[in-house]
């Protein structure tokens, strides 16, 4: 039986991490996978998370199962953080999942259970795993224009033009903030226009929000998701705690689903719990519990928010430094967009050949579409990277 299996395509982002580890050059620079790193290249455990973990170790007295959708306390703090007061909680269903990826997977399965013929619209480009999950589950998808490869900014007119073809009942997937892989984000006026258009098309929004707090701040980053939640009768959200709580390996995420009314929400809730049971039974609890503790304790929460803000503003400084260094090395403003983008990524607009040359000749690793992880920059490597980029585009 197993010899019938076909080789699967390697995930481009995760494969890059293995290639980086195998590279023996001590000058190598990792701008690949989206994991936060401090100036020393370390991914620290956030202060408040570490304190919560200590408290949990001292007070937790059982490891028995939680409930299928996970802990209600986690649902509450996450709904508050993501949605604020934009939607009546009676219409909300929530279900903890293994990371944001688990949430995306379960949302896609929910869509298929509701209507296996659904088409989901996704930005071109998007996080590679979105497409991979759609294909794996047999969910039909179409792409909408999003990014102008010349200016490395949003192609907003193109986006609106392609969304004209959305049909009633289609699902439109939007990145809540910090678009992955481009770093180019909708402003508030654009969010309003997109919301009106999707509403006019009678489509259902699905928001993937994996970097809340990394762009313009916790509340500003939730502008789009809250706007849509206040307008639409139905909507789905996949939220991740991997990045903003720095708990990547704990696999902590959540599905938040908004139904038309409280009765429909009960059925949605049951469906989400059912999907957890079919896929993995109970969701991981440790990370969810830490998030609940941090968000519920004013002192821990203040410390977490302060550290998240340090991370966010630190990345803005690094963006500015790289943009300045590239201006100095190339004598042009071609890369000025890096300072304007937000979140963990920017797409530099290099060719695959140039990306390969950066890897082979300069030991600089970025995803093949020239996406860089801003947190991989530091004072010591910014000029090196700028010189290398200038040399490959010369
Ligand atoms: C990324 O895009 O690098 C992150 O979301 C990590 C991943 O799982 O791909």
pTM of the predicted model, to two decimals? 0.97
Q: Which residues of 100-139 are buried (b: 16+ CB within 10 A; e: fewer)?
A: bbbbbbbbbbbbbeeeeebbbbbbbbbbbbbbebbeeeeb
Q: What are the residue numbers of the active site?
A: 127, 208, 210, 243
Could you read off the pLDDT of 356-384 as tens digits, one per residue? 999 999 999 999 999 999 999 999 999 99
Q: What is residue 383's predicted lDDT score, i.e. its pLDDT?
A: 97
Q: What is residue 323's predicted lDDT score, i.e. its pLDDT?
A: 98
* Domain 49-296 CATH class label: alpha beta
Ligand 1 within 6 A of CB of 34: yes
Two tokens, residue 376: 């991989």
Q: What is residue 234's predicted lDDT score, i.e. its pLDDT?
A: 98
Question: To test the ligand 1 pocket, which listed residue (20, 104, 129) has its Cβ within 8 A of the most ligand atoms?
Answer: 129
Q: 55 burial class (0-12, 13-18, 19+ CB within 10 angstroms)?
A: middle
Q: What is residue 93's predicted lDDT score, i.e. its pLDDT?
A: 98
Ligand 1 within 6 A of CB of 33: yes
Question: What is the separation, in whole angstroms, between the first and last Cα of the chain?
Answer: 52
Ligand 1 within 6 A of CB of 238: no
Dihedral sign computed on CA atoms, order 191, 195, 201, 202: positive
Ligand 1 within 6 A of CB of 114: no
CA distance 176 to 197: 17
Could you read off the pLDDT of 189-221 as tens digits, one per residue? 999 999 999 999 999 999 999 999 999 999 999
* Nearest CA, atom 1, ligand 1: 34
Residue 236: band (very low, low, confident or very high) from pLDDT cuts 50, 70, 90: very high
Q: Could you identify the atom of ligand 1 that is nearest to the CA of residue 129? A: 9
Q: Where in the chain is the domain with CATH 3.90.1150.10?
A: 12-44+301-393
CA distance 339 to 362: 23
Could you read off the pLDDT of 309-366 as tens digits, one per residue? 999 999 999 999 999 999 999 999 999 999 999 999 999 999 999 999 999 999 999 9
Q: What is residue 24's predicted lDDT score, i.e. its pLDDT?
A: 97
* Nearest CA, atom 6, ligand 1: 34
Mean pLDDT of the chain: 97
What's the CA-to-centroid distance between 292 and ligand 1, angstroms? Answer: 24
Q: Could you identify the atom of ligand 1 that is nearest to the CA of residue 11? A: 9
Q: Could you identify the atom of ligand 1 that is nearest to the CA of residue 367? A: 3
Closest CA to 120 of 144, 92, 98: 144
Two tokens, residue 287: 């990370």
What's the CA-to-centroid distance between 14 and ligand 1, angstroms? Answer: 8
Ligand 1 within 6 A of CB of 345: no
Could you read off the pLDDT of 137-180 as tens digits, one per residue? 999 999 999 999 999 999 999 999 999 999 999 999 999 999 99
Q: Where in the chain is the domain with CATH 3.40.640.10?
A: 49-296
Q: What is residue 76's predicted lDDT score, i.e. its pLDDT?
A: 98
* Nearest CA, atom 4, ligand 1: 34
* Domain 12-44+301-393 CATH class label: alpha beta
Going from the C-alpha of 391 to that of each of 188, 326, 354, the distances in angstroms are: 37, 11, 10
- Asked if residues 82 and 209 have their Cβ atoms less than 8 Å apart, the reply is yes
User: What is the DSSP track for 207-253?
Assistant: EEES-TTSSS-TTGGGHHHHHHHHH-SSEEEEEE-TTTTT-GGG--E
Mean predicted confidence (pLDDT) in 51-58: 98
- Asked if residues 247 and 49 have their Cβ atoms less than 8 Å apart, the reply is yes
Residue 290: band (very low, low, confident or very high) from pLDDT cuts 50, 70, 90: very high
Sheet of strand 92-97, all strands in order from the earlier edge strand to the far edge: 92-97, 253-258, 235-240, 204-209, 171-175, 119-124, 140-145
Question: To test the ligand 1 pocket, which listed residue (103, 104, 126, 127) has its Cβ within 8 A of the most ligand atoms?
Answer: 127
**394 DSSP assignment:** -
Instruction: Give the number of other CB atoms < 10 A from CB of residue 88.
Output: 13
What's the CA-to-centroid distance between 341 and ligand 1, angstroms? Answer: 18
What's the CA-to-centroid distance between 376 and ligand 1, angstroms? Answer: 14
Q: What is residue 113's predicted lDDT score, i.e. its pLDDT?
A: 98
Mean predicted confidence (pLDDT) in 121-133: 97
CA distance 126 to 83: 23
Residue 17: band (very low, low, confident or very high) from pLDDT cuts 50, 70, 90: very high
What's the CA-to-centroid distance between 35 and ligand 1, angstroms? Answer: 8
């Amino acid at each position: 039986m197993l010899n019938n299996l076909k080789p699967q395509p390697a995930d481009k982002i995760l494969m890059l991490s293995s290639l980086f580890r195998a590279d023996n050059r001590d000058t190598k620079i990792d701008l690949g996978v989206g994991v936060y790193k401090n100036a020393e290249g370390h991914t620290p455990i956030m202060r408040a998370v570490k304190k919560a973990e200590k408290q949990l170790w001292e007070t937790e007295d059982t490891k028995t199962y939680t409930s299928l959708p996970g802990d209600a306390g986690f649902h509450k703090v996450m709904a508050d953080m993501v949605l604020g007061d934009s939607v009546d909680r009676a219409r909300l269903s929530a279900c903890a999942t293994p990371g944001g990826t688990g949430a995306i997977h379960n949302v896609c399965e929910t869509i298929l259970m509701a209507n296996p013929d659904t088409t989901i619209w996704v930005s071109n480009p998007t996080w590679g795993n979105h497409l991979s999950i759609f294909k794996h589950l047999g969910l039909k998808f179409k792409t909408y224009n999003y990014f102008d490869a010349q200016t490395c900014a949003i192609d907003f007119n193109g986006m609106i033009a392609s969304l004209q073809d959305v049909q009633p009942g289609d699902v439109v997937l939007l990145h809540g903030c910090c678009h992955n892989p481009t770093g180019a984000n909708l402003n508030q006026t654009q969010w309003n226009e997109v919301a009106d258009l999707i509403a006019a098309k009678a489509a259902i929004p699905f928001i993937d929000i994996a970097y809340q707090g990394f762009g313009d701040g916790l509340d500003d980053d939730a502008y789009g998701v809250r706007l849509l939640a206040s307008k639409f009768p139905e909507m789905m959200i996949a939220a991740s705690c991997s990045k903003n709580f720095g708990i990547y390996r704990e696999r902590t995420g959540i599905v938040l689903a908004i139904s038309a009314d409280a009765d429909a929400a009960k059925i949605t809730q049951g469906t989400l719990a059912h999907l957890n049971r079919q896929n993995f039974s109970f969701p991981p609890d440790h990370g969810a519990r830490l998030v609940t503790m941090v968000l519920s304790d004013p002192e821990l929460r203040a410390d977490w928010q302060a550290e998240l803000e340090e991370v966010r503003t630190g990345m803005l400084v690094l963006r500015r430094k790289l943009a300045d260094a590239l201006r100095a090395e190339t004598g042009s403003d071609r890369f000025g967009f890096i300072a304007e983008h937000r979140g963990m990524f920017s797409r530099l607009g290099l060719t695959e050949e140039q990306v390969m040359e950066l890897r082979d000749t300069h030991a600089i690793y970025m995803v093949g579409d020239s996406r860089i992880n801003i947190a991989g920059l530091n004072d010591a490597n910014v000029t090196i990277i700028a010189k290398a980029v200038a040399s490959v585009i010369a």
